[in-house]
A and B are shown apart, each in its own frame.
Chain A
């Protein structure tokens, strides 16, 4: 019955494959200027973001926040007369998509560079390609220590404090304030969670750590992990989790009647995001941030609810003008602060913008830039790590309150944790950084 059909397959398979290939055919032309993605009037960056999928809640607001800041800079004349464009591509936190969209941005859209690519498991799969193609890979939105290798990955730069630095600072606080208490760690089983765990282990004595539980991004329950942690009778629970798993973990703890002192990495505690998730997941039963109230965390930017801070005032003004549909929270602030750093780098790279000039500008001048950050950048030609520390904070009445002064350190086991004596920077009058 199938024989005429199968005989016709030949021609049709050829036709189908050829049609598929031809349909995929797009034109790609390079501009005649000094570097791809740069003209006299524009600079185009691309980025990959989880606009859908497990990491989307909260994180999907980051790139629009950056875009809002660029819109603001563009309205003030851009950088050397060039307007900054950001092409945002959704990768759903799936590295197969990340590889494809980053190739599309670089090879087809001819972007000047990639900016703020989000995620450790995703971005690690394109670092090789970007460095081999000599495409600037600016300020990855992840605290993996793997972006810091300036000698082997000269085109990739981190931005936020790496997770080991963060883990050490949280760990020191636990060692000092919860001496002798039992500590459990819940972590995402990738470089994010493992880096944070390493930092905690650097500081907290091994005898105090009674449980270490990993989870895979994408799972729908943390019941096994939380049950094991409860059984260990830990007094302190440290979460290296993305917002959705902070929420799931707390709801599970609540259901099991387990109430440890919660300590959460900066990336997993944004109150607006976690509060919203708690409400959605519990179908409205848990409203507000009651389940995370009192949680201890850390921050390297001013708290988004600190409306007396001039940086927050600037960012809220820009937010109201260009990104008002999203709530103003830590994610939007992150996007804007990161965009601020990129504008600093573009200013420092000078009028004759090339890819190498941008890299050199960060290597040479990056360590001296000031901005909304509470600590310094580590940038040098051999170290491409971003912020070198953070300040402790706590969730009080649904808002993150920073306290105790910022501390800085390096990711090595021996690196001491020292107080920061940086006086807070004031934003430039028109909000646009001037470089150097």
Chain B
């Protein structure tokens, strides 16, 4: 049976189709979370909150054509919102996460409006300033935000019906994966909607899009706001999974590694964001293990992971210029072509 025939059996409505996908991925993740030990569940949760951020960022960069170096700071907004609401106000998890998404979206509006007037390096510079400047706010109001020390919260407790042996880490993985699935569902539908088409039109040719009656600035500001909301949710999930919000957790390197994630994963595709999340979580761990498997002096072996990380990224971009997802797509395409040509023979 060919892939096309299988695809034809899927429901025609985008909404239903994406819902089916989300349920399918959810079931897979549910099963996987039971197979993993507590630490790997925590890694899964890490991957899930990175996916939420990367999905929003890849939509912004790949569909709307805007670059942002400020998403680490937007994550901080979400993380601090969750830490303050859960730690000080005693909110439940879901409303706190919803509030983090909303607050970050509101912060994203003025940044997005400003960003819609800037292009290329100027846009990168403006968002970069945002990433550098925002953590200082935590220092300025150290009474509320805990200064350099940041905030800590208690871990979420799993409901008792899951049993006493159900680990906190698995519960965290469930929450983070649920958040990631919400992002997947919303962004999938958004990219397929009229708005998604408007974004692509704006990305490809702003003047032509404007001539067609699209409001270029408004479309870009909207894309930035949605992307900020995703980063806020991701940051909120980070706070929940790691139980912290601290300036040192959101350095400039975080914003840069998020950008690395979407480029290496495959720009503009949600699957690429998933690959990117996997790279961000697993690559540092592998490079660390690799670096310490050689017996080198401490100075060398502690800096080697960074060097290996860089080499792997350069290598990946040389082999797959369109990211891992591009590479996978090329492989699948090649395999399908090879099979169909064999069937013809």
- Which residues from chain A sit less than 8 Å from chain B, CB to CB? 2, 5-10, 12-14, 16-28, 51-52, 56, 60-61, 64, 89-90, 93-96, 99-100, 103-104, 107-108, 120-122, 124-125, 128-129, 132, 188-191, 193-194, 214, 216-218, 325-326
* Inter-subunit contact A128/B152 (CB<8 Å): yes
Main secondary structure of the interface of A (DSSP, over half): helix
Q: Determine the distance from Cα of A217 to Cα of B246 in the docked complex, in whole angstroms.
A: 11
* Inter-subunit contact A325/B278 (CB<8 Å): no
B228 within 8 A of A: no
* Inter-subunit contact B271/A94 (CB<8 Å): no
In the bound complex, residues from chain B placing their C-beta under 8 Å from that of A52 are 302-303, 306
B65 within 8 A of A: no
* Inter-subunit contact B32/A21 (CB<8 Å): yes
Q: Determine the distance from Cα of A27 to Cα of B38 in the docked complex, in whole angstroms.
A: 11
Q: B39 is contacted by which of A103, A122, A128 (Cβ under 8 Å)?
A: A103
Contact residues on B (Cβ < 8 Å of other chain), bracket? 35 or more
Q: A13-B25, A121-B248 are in contact. List 5 more A-B contacts (CB 8 A).
A: A9-B270, A9-B271, A13-B270, A17-B29, A125-B243
Of the candidates A93, A95, A218, the one having the most CB atoms from chain B within 10 angstroms of its own CB is A95
The 6 closest A-B pairs by CB, nearest first: A51-B302, A20-B278, A190-B148, A107-B39, A16-B274, A12-B271
In the bound complex, residues from chain A placing their C-beta under 8 Å from that of B274 are 12-13, 16-17, 20
In the bound complex, residues from chain A placing their C-beta under 8 Å from that of B275 are 16, 20
In the bound complex, residues from chain B placing their C-beta under 8 Å from that of A19 are 278
* Inter-subunit contact B44/A128 (CB<8 Å): no
* Proximity bits, B270-293, A CB within 8 Å = 1, else 0: 110011011001100100100000
Kindly provide the distance from the CB of A5 to the nearest chain B CB, expressed in whole angstroms.
Answer: 7
* Inter-subunit contact B44/A21 (CB<8 Å): yes
Known: A23-B278, A52-B302, A190-B147. A14 touches B155 (CB 8 A): no
* Inter-subunit contact B44/A24 (CB<8 Å): yes
* Inter-subunit contact B37/A121 (CB<8 Å): no
* Inter-subunit contact A216/B39 (CB<8 Å): no
Which residue of chain B has its CB nearest to the CB of A106? B39
Which residue of chain B has its CB nearest to the CB of A13? B271
Q: Determine the distance from Cα of A114 to Cα of B90 in the docked complex, in whole angstroms.
A: 30
Kindly provide the distance from the CB of B325 to the nearest chain A CB, expressed in whole angstroms.
Answer: 7
Known: A23-B278, A24-B40, A95-B248. A13 touches B184 (CB 8 A): yes
* Inter-subunit contact B282/A20 (CB<8 Å): yes
* Proximity bits, B185-196, A CB within 8 Å = 1, else 0: 000100110000
Give the interface segment out of B99-107, B134-142, B213-221, B337-345. B134-142
9 inter-chain pairs at a CB distance below 8 angstroms, sorted by A residue, are A6-B188, A12-B328, A20-B274, A20-B275, A52-B303, A96-B242, A100-B242, A104-B285, A121-B148
Kindly provide the distance from the CB of A225 to the nearest chain B CB, expressed in whole angstroms.
Answer: 12
Q: B200 is contacted by which of A2, A20, A51 (Cβ under 8 Å)?
A: A2
* Inter-subunit contact B149/A121 (CB<8 Å): yes
* Inter-subunit contact A218/B149 (CB<8 Å): no
* Inter-subunit contact A124/B152 (CB<8 Å): yes
* Inter-subunit contact B329/A8 (CB<8 Å): yes
* Inter-subunit contact A189/B21 (CB<8 Å): no
Kindly provide the distance from the CB of B148 to the nearest chain A CB, expressed in whole angstroms.
Answer: 4
* Inter-subunit contact B37/A95 (CB<8 Å): no
Known: A20-B282, A217-B248. A107 touches B37 (CB 8 A): yes
* Inter-subunit contact A107/B42 (CB<8 Å): yes
Q: Determine the distance from Cα of A12 to Cα of B273 in the docked complex, in whole angstroms.
A: 11
In the bound complex, residues from chain A placing their C-beta under 8 Å from that of B154 are 128
Kindly provide the distance from the CB of A435 to the nearest chain B CB, expressed in whole angstroms.
Answer: 30
* Inter-subunit contact A325/B249 (CB<8 Å): no
In the bound complex, residues from chain A placing their C-beta under 8 Å from that of B150 are 95, 121, 125
Which residue of chain A has its CB nearest to the CB of B269? A9
Q: A90 is contacted by which of B42, B244, B281, B288 (Cβ under 8 Å)?
A: B288
